[in-house]
Amino acid sequence: MTSTSVARPPRLSPGARVALVCPSGAVLERDDFTRASDLVRALGLSPVQMPNADRRFGYLAGTDDERLEDFQRAIGDESVAAVWAVRGGFGTTRILKRIDFSPLRTQPKVLLGFSDITTILLKAYADIGLVTFHGPVSRNGLTSFAREHLERVLFDPTPAGKLTQPRPPAGVLVPREPRVVPLIPGVAEGPLVGGNLTLLQCLIGTGSLPSFEGAILFLEETAEDLYRVDRMFAHLRDAGLLSGLAGVAIGLFTDMRKGAEGGTRSFEEVLREYLEPLGVPAARGFPIGHVDDQWTLPIGARARLDANAGTLTLLEGGVA
């Protein structure tokens, strides 16, 4: 992070204007925009769909210029309090270097999304020290669990404290999921940094990554082969990003495929191979990623990871 201090956007208050943007993949169903706007209203906020959001350019939500124009206009609009991605997909890496985050220095806004939006969240934090928010996209209906954590983090400046876990399935005595599994025991504190593993790896060497020194790294992924996950962790290790971490919180790697190269290795074996040499607390299974019941995490805010208990506690508020 190049900024010497962390900036927090103002808390969201009733009636606040929320810009709905599509900096990545195209939205194919018109009802996705309707649901996104309805969701914003259901939270007591006011939706503003950006003019190019419903454009299509192949698998992208418009040309690079159109997607960049919408995002740049949204962060520069003084009447907008939050910028919320309608979906992820692919496309942010094509425009990331051209985004000018400087308007957020004088008027910070909530930036919210996950998956492909990881690049925007991390670069904004790296460039100007803005706390950004890894959480649901707006076309997905919020479960009561996801809503509770989103509102705790975005509507209240006080620290959210210990985050809760989704309820286990009814009638199951010892469920496999949801379940946090300790990997390396211990307790760590530090600023939260992370997001989607593939997108984080894409930023290596671009100058768009914040410092990981002393941070609690959180990661999630979906629909990847285990051997590719292995390869990405090797890249992070060899690029030096895993050195100096305070702790590691592994989210959910949904729909993971073993693939022809996966053999009989388990995900936990791969994780332990890369994380145990670090000697820092680590656990896996947190509700972070491509699931309905997910946390909203403030990137840049301090947190405490208790790997033994399988808990993550927010020590600082993400908004002012």
DSSP3 helix / strand / coil % (the chain, rounded to 5) = 30, 25, 45
Catalytic site residue from 220, 221, 224, 316 = 220
Catalytic site includes residue 115: yes
C-beta neighbour count of 126 within 10 angstroms: 23
CA distance 318 to 156: 8
Catalytic site residue from 115, 149, 208, 224 = 115
Half-sphere exposure of 262 (CA within 13 A, CB side): 12
Catalytic site residue from 37, 138, 149, 290 = 290
CA distance 195 to 219: 5
Catalytic site includes residue 149: no
State the Cα torsion 103-106-112-116 to the nearest 10°: 40
Q: In 3-state terms, what secondary structure has residue 85?
A: strand
- Give the start-end residues of each E strand in the chain: 17-21, 46-49, 80-85, 110-113, 132-134, 161-162, 181-184, 187-196, 216-222, 247-254, 282-284, 297-299, 302-306, 311-314
Catalytic site includes residue 290: yes
The catalytic residues are: 115, 220, 290
